[in-house]
Each structure stands twice: as C-alpha cells, then as structure tokens.
DNA sequence: TGATTGTTTGACCAATTGGTCAGAAACACG
DNA sequence: CGTGTTTCTGACCAATTGGTCAAACAATCA
C-alpha cells in the first residue's frame, strides 16, 4: 500500500503509539463513534501532533485495517493441504481462538467494520479474503471427496470456525457476564468444547 | 420500564416510524456514530419533531434496546424442558437462525452494543439474559446427565448457537462477498450445515 | 363556530467535531 | 558552537453535533 519511507526513530515510535491508541478507540466505538481527541488523549499526544504523523482520521483507520488484514489471514494461510485433514482443521480453529484471546481489539475492529457494511475494507474482503477462502475451501472439499473427513459444506465450515472463535473476543463482555464474574478465563473451556464439536463434525 | 401512557393515533404512528428509522441508523453506525439528523431524515421528520416524541437521542436508543431484549430472548424461553432434547435444541437453533434472517437490524444493534462493552444494556445482560441462560443451561445439563444427549459444556453450547446463528446477520456482508454475489440466499445452506453440526454434536 | 389541545417547524444555541497554520521547541550534525 | 531539519503546540476555523424555544399549524370537540 504505502510506499516504504525513511522514518526516524521518533517517527517510528510515535506512529506505533498512535496506531495502538487508535486501535483501542476504534475497536470500541467504531470509526464514526471515535474522535481524534480521544485517540490523542489515549496516545498521550496533542491532536495537531497526531495530524503531523497521519494526514487524517480516516488515514489512521485505513492504516490499521490494512495492517490487520494481513495478520488476520495468517492462521488460514497456514492450513496445510498436505497435512492430516482433521488435525489441520482443528489446529486452524485453535490458532483462530488464540487470536481472539491475544488480539481481541483487532477482532472487534474487524467486527465493527463488517457490521457497518465494510465500507473501507470491502476491497480486501472481495479480494484477498475471498481468494484465500476459495482456495482453502477447495482443499477442504478435496478432503471430503476423498473421504478423509465427513462431508459437509466447506464454506460454512469456515464460517463456523470464524464465528465461534471470534465470538469470544467480540462478545467477551457477554460471555463473562453470563458465566459469572468468578474471574474465570473462559478460553480453556471454550477450546475444549470447540475441539469436541469439530472432532465430531469431521469424523466420518 | 416506561409507565403506560395514553397515546393518540398520530403519536403511535410517529413513534414507531422514528424507532424504525433509528433501528436502521443505530444498527449500522452504533450509538455514537449515529446522528439525530440521520434518524430524522430516515424517518422523514424534522429533528425538533423527533425530540417532541423522545426526550433525547439516548432515550430512543434505550427504548430500542429494551424493546429488543424481550423478543431477543423469546426463542430461548421456548426451549421446553419436557420436550425431546435433541429436537428441542435443534428447534432453538432454527428459531435463532430465523431471527437472524428476519431481523438482521436487531441483531446488529445488539452486536454493536455488546462490542462497545454493553454500556447501556449491561443490566439486562447480567439480569434477564443471565437468569434465563442459567435456567436453560441447567435443563441441558440435566439432559446430558440423563444420557439423552452427548455430554459437553451447556453454556458454551448456548454460546455456539448464538455465535453461529447471529453470524449470518452480523457478518452478512462478508458471508455474501465470500460466497460470491450469485444472488444466493445463504440461509438454506446455513441451516442444513448447522443441523448436521448440532446433530453430530448431540448424538451420544 | 371557537377554544383547547396536540403537532410541527425555523431559528437559534453552546459544545464538539476534524482539520489548519504560524511559529516555538527539540533535535541532528557539520 | 550554529544552522538546518524535524517535532510539537496553542490558537484558530468552519462544519456538525444534541438540544431548546417561541410561535405557527393542525385536530379535536363542545
């Protein structure tokens, strides 16, 4: 996207500081619900200083999203067509769940964007995301045709992995409220449950 | 909540018009991302006229959410402890999926609120929602203990129904983009896939 | 009909929004 | 040191925000 630029030490530090603060704010309030003042305050910088590093509010958001999309697709990229089918899919589910645990802000930023109709990211959805999904769905279809896993709908199988794992980041507040605030980490039980679920689904 | 009030014909009509328009806007942009002007325009009314029927922007939002919470929980309320366990759970999943299909705006409004930390709805989450979930989770646990369905985690089972079904409303844009815009309705295939998934999960 | 009540609006307000700009301050480097 | 560049800020701007209000308009009903 952005052509590589020579950046000073200060530039690098402040840009990452700003992006981190913006991730906090955007992931909670969405694009239109977030203000530059909020981001500036969260970053510990002045508002004009933000605009010294980024040309506009939208530029910050776009930068965040385009950085995100890459790492977002990594777990799926690592699905190995030559691996053992059921283990590969289970491992993919685990990687996605791990992302929900370790990067909940990124998950919420993404969810916010999709909820709003993906106005600033539709290109990547119809491009990178769709291409990769098509490719991996074909792999899974191949496994099903070969009788290595139980037949079902490859695309909806992927959707189910996305929704089930991202749920624990996006709806974290609800999950914890329902489970009761016993300080429990819901993730271990979630992983165990999802392992059972997908093992049963995939077993012929 | 609001005490019953005598309302004229015009009041009834305009209040529902406003709430419907507000649902459109809030469900897309979230609370802070939506403006009274947007809602007024969508409702075909002037901004001061909105504020003749509702005291504030927040009042509209709260009214929407409290109306929503009731119908939102209906599908789970109908889970019959005396029914055939597997059929009951499958029917619940189908009711939830039907809600995603018929009321996607409500689903997105809810998702937006939870994403933002549920600031205006936490009471209902920790109250009505948690109570009902506790009750039904106990029912499911009973079924598992009696060996009528395969043992797994009742709460995460409910979470999985929520996330899988709501995904088709909240991430509708992504689902359609990935499946390709062949004008297909993704719901029939989704229902079939989810039936398979839960049938396998619940079978002993 | 007229008087009362219910409905609608244009004009207005203070606060907040994203963004600009000239210059001050801090830094880099010969 | 000094000079040029990078970094930072206070003051400011036009546009938009949620909300008010008096007055105009419409509905109702005696």
8 Å CB contact between A88 and A80: yes
Mean pLDDT of A9-33: 94
The H or E element that residue B79 is part of is: none
For residue range B111-156, list pLDDT tens digits in order: 999 999 999 999 999 999 999 999 999 999 999 999 999 999 999 9
- Model confidence at B191: pLDDT above 80: yes
Is any atom of strand C within 7 angstroms of residue B11's beta carbon? yes
Count helices and strands in chain B by DSSP H and E runs: 11, 0
**Cα separation, B193 vs B67, whole angstroms:** 31
8 Å CB contact between B155 and B133: yes
- Model confidence at B26: pLDDT above 80: yes
At residue B2, the pLDDT reads 38
For residue range A107-140, list pLDDT tens digits in order: 999 999 999 999 999 999 999 999 999 999 999 9
Flag the least confident range among A68-72, B73-77, B156-160.
Answer: A68-72
ipTM: 0.93
At residue B3, the pLDDT reads 38
Residue of B50, B147, B58, B64 whose CA lies nearest to B110: B64
pTM of the complete model = 0.94
**CA of B52 and C1' of C15: distance in angstroms?**
22
The residues near A81 (Cβ < 8 Å, ≥ 6 apart) are A139, A142
The H or E element that residue A97 is part of is: helix A85-102
At residue A12, the pLDDT reads 86
**CA of B6 and C1' of D24: distance in angstroms?**
25
At residue A2, the pLDDT reads 38
**Residue A1 confidence class, pLDDT cut points 50, 70, 90:** very low
Chain A, chain B: beta-carbon pairs less than 8 Å apart = 171
**CA of B204 and C1' of C7: distance in angstroms?**
63
Between B111 and B9, the more confident residue is B111
| Cβ-nearest to B193 among A108, A152, A167 | A152
For residue range B30-46, list pLDDT tens digits in order: 999 999 999 999 999 99
CA count, 13 A, side-chain hemisphere, B5: 10
Is any atom of strand D within 7 angstroms of residue B37's beta carbon? yes
At residue B181, the pLDDT reads 76
At residue A163, the pLDDT reads 98
| Cβ-nearest to A173 among B117, B155, B189 | B117
**Residue B107 confidence class, pLDDT cut points 50, 70, 90:** very high
At residue B10, the pLDDT reads 81
At residue A5, the pLDDT reads 59
User: Best-predicted range by mean pLDDT among A7-21, A102-116, B178-192?
Assistant: A102-116
With an 8 Å Cβ cutoff, are A164 and B163 in contact?
yes
Mean pLDDT of A92-114: 98
| Cβ-nearest to B130 among A33, A178, A193 | A178
With an 8 Å Cβ cutoff, are A178 and B125 in contact?
yes
How far away is chain B from the Cα of A8, in angstroms, using its nearest Cα? 35
């Amino acid at each position: 996207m952005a052509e590589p630029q020579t950046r000073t030490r200060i530039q690098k530090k402040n840009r990452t500081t700003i992006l981190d603060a913006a991730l906090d704010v955007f992931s909670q309030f969405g694009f239109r619900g977030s203000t530059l003042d909020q981001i500036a305050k969260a970053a510990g910088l002045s508002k004009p200083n933000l605009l010294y590093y980024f040309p506009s509010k939208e530029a910050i958001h776009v930068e965040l999203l385009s950085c995100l999309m890459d790492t977002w697709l990594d777990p799926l990229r690592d699905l190995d067509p030559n691996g053992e089918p059921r283990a590969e899919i289970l491992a993919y589910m685990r990687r996605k769940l791990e992302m929900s645990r370790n990067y909940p802000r990124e998950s919420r930023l993404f969810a916010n964007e999709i909820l709003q109709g993906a106005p600033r990211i539709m290109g990547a959805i119809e491009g990178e995301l769709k291409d990769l999904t098509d490719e991996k769905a074909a792999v899974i279809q191949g496994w099903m045709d070969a009788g290595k896993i139980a037949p079902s709908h490859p695309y909806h199988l992927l959707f189910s992995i996305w929704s089930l794992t991202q749920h624990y980041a996006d709806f974290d507040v609800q999950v914890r409220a329902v489970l009761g605030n016993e300080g429990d980490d819901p993730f271990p039980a979630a992983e165990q449950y999802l392992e059972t679920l997908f093992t049963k689904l995939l077993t012929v």
